Amino acid sequence: MSVKTLTIDGKMMTGVEGDTVFTVAFHNQVQIPRLCHLGGIPDVGACRMCLVEVEGRSKLSASCMTTIEEGMVVRTDTETLREYRKLLMELLLAEGNHVCSVCVSNGNCELQALAAYLGVDHVRVPYRHPRREVDLSHERFGLDHNRCIACTRCVRTCDEVEGAHVWDMAGRGEKLHLVADLGEPWGDSENCTKCGKCVQVCPTGALFTKGSAVGEMEKDRSFLKYIVYGRERHQWVKKP
Amino acid sequence: MSAKVKLATVWLGGCSGCHMSFLDLDERLIELAAKVELCLSPLVDTKFKDFPDVDVTLVEGAVANVEHVEMLHTIRARSKLVIAFGDCAVSGNITAMRNTFTVDEVMNRAYRETVAVVKGVPVGDDLVPKLLAKVKPLHELVTIDHYLQGCPPSADRIWELVTALLDGRAPKLERRFG
């Protein structure tokens, strides 16, 4: 394992070969906005929120998918990046039907919080208002496709952590959507263990516990931290 | 003493909740009344038959029918500042949830599939303004000067925006969306 040194936002930082720019920045208290990244599961670069400028590269790079290189110079917070992130957020908000006022996750939503953080006060592109379904076939949980941003945290968590691989993405472009097993109603999935990890990692109100009313769905990600750090620290029993 | 600031509030495609929140200004309304002339509002009687020339207009609700379109263009032409007042005005919000359906589907659900005194969709006269195919937020039609988020915006947020405009300073509003 070789150590690499790079500059992020004017500060010298070091990481191990194979580390991503996002991870090194994170461990050095540089918070890069993100939606699809979740510590403990593999990155896919789906949301593009963590775009950064790398000196010598003409294109912007998703920091969660960019491995560090010796002497790399990275900027995570410039006027260009702020404007791109803002527009990305507006595109996400216009793409689905994110009506915060009637959402189970209103007030506890990563999409909503990031929109506010990025200074989005209105959406400059026309809203699409696609017709999407709500799957309430599962006995414990619900899936509201209107609020899905296709970050695939649920897909990766179910696969990598629970080992059940219930979720996948189907379709392309505007038809891209989440499917359980081979496209069955969630309640008919034979692989689903009903553990609810997908619900807890979902950044929006797309996956929720049945019976939650507006603003009542608060996600708990502590189990993931426990899985990640528990192994490192040999804590085999979860402490409350 | 200089002339009072002319204020109007308008209710387009919304539930009036933003106006209820405006009333939640409570005793601050008295302070406001000393500084502004409320020229037109669904809350008050008015001496104006037509939309008057004003300094500031708070517009609640989204643009949902042909009357709203006409009204909004009039408001823009006669107001120095137009404020998107609440989430329906800012994003379409609840009012725009019908956009995933066609107008026919919406009308059938409202007038045929539900319990009604008179069955059938009202058509053939100009009593009820025609619905637009899609509900739109204000800024898709006219230029907006300030966006006030919230469903509804809290009285404190309304107060901060209104007093900031009166004092000629930038409002200090906590960032929020939805």
**pLDDT tens profile A27-47:** 999 999 999 999 889 999 999
What's at A62, amino acid-wise?
A
pLDDT tens digits, residue range A70-118? 999 999 999 999 999 999 999 999 999 999 999 999 999 999 999 999 9
**Between residues 56 and 95 of chain A, which touch chain B (CB distance below 8 Å)?**
93
- What are the chain B neighbours of A103 within 8 Å (beta carbons)? 178
Number of Cβ within 10 Å of residue A48's Cβ equals: 19
3-class SS of residue B87: helix
- What are the chain A neighbours of B134 within 8 Å (beta carbons)? 129
Tens-binned pLDDT, residue by residue, of chain B (178 aa): 468 999 999 999 999 999 999 999 999 999 999 999 999 998 887 677 789 999 999 999 999 999 999 999 999 999 999 999 999 999 999 999 999 999 999 988 888 888 777 777 777 667 788 999 999 999 999 999 999 999 999 999 999 999 999 999 999 998 889 8
A173 CB within 8 Å of a chain B CB? no
- What are the chain A neighbours of B140 within 8 Å (beta carbons)? 126
Alpha-carbon distance A125 to nearest alpha carbon in chain B (angstroms): 9
Reported ipTM: 0.91
- DSSP per residue over A35-82, as a string? SS--TTS-----S-TTEEEETT-SS-EEGGG-B--TT-EEESS-HHHH
Measured at the CA of B59, the angle between CA B57 and CA B60, to 5 degrees, comes to 150
SS3 content of chain A, % helix, strand, coil (to 5): 30, 15, 50
Query: What's the CA gap between B178 and B151, in Å, rounded?
Result: 7
pLDDT tens digits, residue range A118-149? 999 999 999 999 999 999 999 999 999 999 99
pLDDT of residue B121: 78
Pairing of strands A134-135, A141-144: antiparallel
Question: Mean pLDDT score of chain A, rounded to an integer?
Answer: 94
Contact present, A101 and B178 (Cβ < 8 Å): yes
pLDDT of residue B114: 83
A106 CB within 8 Å of a chain B CB? yes
Which chain A residue has the Cα nearest residue B96? A129
Is the CB of A112 less than 8 angstroms away from the CB of B177?
yes
Helices (H), A118-221: 153-157, 197-201
pLDDT of residue B1: 46
Alpha-carbon distance B95 to nearest alpha carbon in chain A (angstroms): 10
Structure-token pair, residue B127: 């009593």
Confidence band for A155, pLDDT divided at 50, 70 and 90: very high
DSSP-derived letter for residue B154 is: P
pLDDT of residue A237: 60
- What are the chain B neighbours of A93 within 8 Å (beta carbons)? 91
Contact present, B25 and B157 (Cβ < 8 Å): no
Is the CB of B147 less than 8 angstroms away from the CB of A97?
no
Q: What are the residues facing B36 on neighbouring strands? A: B5
Spatial CB neighbours of A200, under 8 Å, sequence gap ≥ 6: A219, A220, A221, A223, A224
